[in-house]
Amino acid sequence: MDASPFHEGELEAQALAGESSRGAGIRDFMPDQHRDFFALLPYLFAAGRDGAGRPIATILTGPDGFVTSPTPNELAIAALPASGDPADAALSAGAPIGLLGLDLRTRRRNRANGVISERDRNGLRIAVSQSFGNCAKYIQARQHEIAPAATTATEELGRLDAAASALIVEADTLFIASGSESGLDISHRGGRSGFVRIEGGRLSVPDFAGNSYFNTFGNLLREPATSLLFIDFAKGDVLQLQGVAEVIWSGAELTGLDGVKRLLQFEVTRAWRRRAALPLRWSEPEPAPTTLATGSWRQDRAA
């Protein structure tokens, strides 16, 4: 790999934030502990590009062990996107992919980005070119259990309706897919319930102190098109959004919310809902200690 594992957008984002990182944990292969970790998961978050080149975020599920690592540069995923998933066509052979393994039971997470080298009726094979871990900040711990997935139709929403808006404003967790010429990435964002604000079709998501990599924001400086994924952990519903993002680095917009360093503003352009689409249900969250040190729009406004 190059001396710096960061592309120009990531370095620019670090400079704008007044932070820097050597990226010592970013590798061009998966260490054994990462390879073993992926095999423990019953779900995996993924980012692809749609036919217009825009990122789209989704979640893949399977029994424990549905993800394996034949070599340090390969992942084999014995699953495909669910029927009606708007990301299905994006996860095709030869396409870039960003992956996030996140075990909500332990708050452990690892990223693996690369290219889909094969797709058949049994699943996907990934050629991994970038691998790194992330800290446990802002991850709410949850236990899961198996539940039947409903075979409901995908609803494309012309706008965020009351149910979609309620899921978003009550959320303590979301996932964001972004891209650049270097590839795709999918990342986790977390906070107190109410940390995402909706004003019309615009979402405001605070960014708290992190690992100083700025992978997502660096991508957004190059490609503002992005995608958000929300999950109803109690019902198994999935809400997938596409839109255009802008990062607010300073100014009055950052006042009035504990712990906020920057602000991501996201204008929704497309939205899909799949009710009870996941074969998993999760327990009530146990907030991370770092989460408890932050505020939410609802909480801070009430104070």
pLDDT one-digit tens code per residue, 244-295 = 999 999 998 888 788 999 999 999 999 999 999 999 999 999 999 999 999 8
Determine contact, residues 74/56, Cβ cutoff 8 Å.
no
Query: Distance between CA atoms of 108 and 136, rounded to whole angstroms?
Result: 6
CB burial of residue 189 (10 Å; 0-12, 13-18, 19+): buried
Q: Taking the CA atoms of the chain, what radius of gyration do you get in angstroms?
A: 18
Q: Which letter does DSSP use for residue 212 in this model? A: S
Query: Distance between CA atoms of 214 and 8, rounded to whole angstroms?
Result: 11
Determine contact, residues 172/291, Cβ cutoff 8 Å.
yes
Q: Using 50, 70 and 90 to split pLDDT, how confident is the model at 10?
A: very high
**Average pLDDT value over all residues in the chain:** 94
For 210-251, write each residue's pLDDT tens digit: 888 999 999 999 999 999 999 999 999 999 999 999 999 999
Query: Distance between CA atoms of 99 and 177, rounded to whole angstroms?
Result: 9
**Nearest-10 crossing angle of helices 215-222, 8-17:** 110
Q: Using 50, 70 and 90 to split pLDDT, how confident is the model at 43?
A: very high
User: What is the dihedral sign for C-alpha 25, 222, 254, 299?
Assistant: negative
Within 190-282, where are the H helices? Answer: 215-222
**How far, in whole angstroms, is CA 244 from its chain's centroid?**
15
- Mean pLDDT (whole number) for 18-38: 93
- Mean pLDDT (whole number) for 165-182: 97
Say if strands 225-232 and 67-68 run parallel, antiparallel, or are unpaired: unpaired
Residue 77, both tokens: 């995923």
- For residue 232, the cross-strand partners are 237
Residue whose token pair is 């809400």: 239
For 117-136, write each residue's pLDDT tens digit: 999 999 999 999 999 998 89
**Helix, strand, or coil here: 243?**
strand
**Does pLDDT of 111 surpass 60?**
yes
Furthest-apart CA atoms within the chain: distance in Å: 54
Q: Using 50, 70 and 90 to split pLDDT, how confident is the model at 83?
A: confident
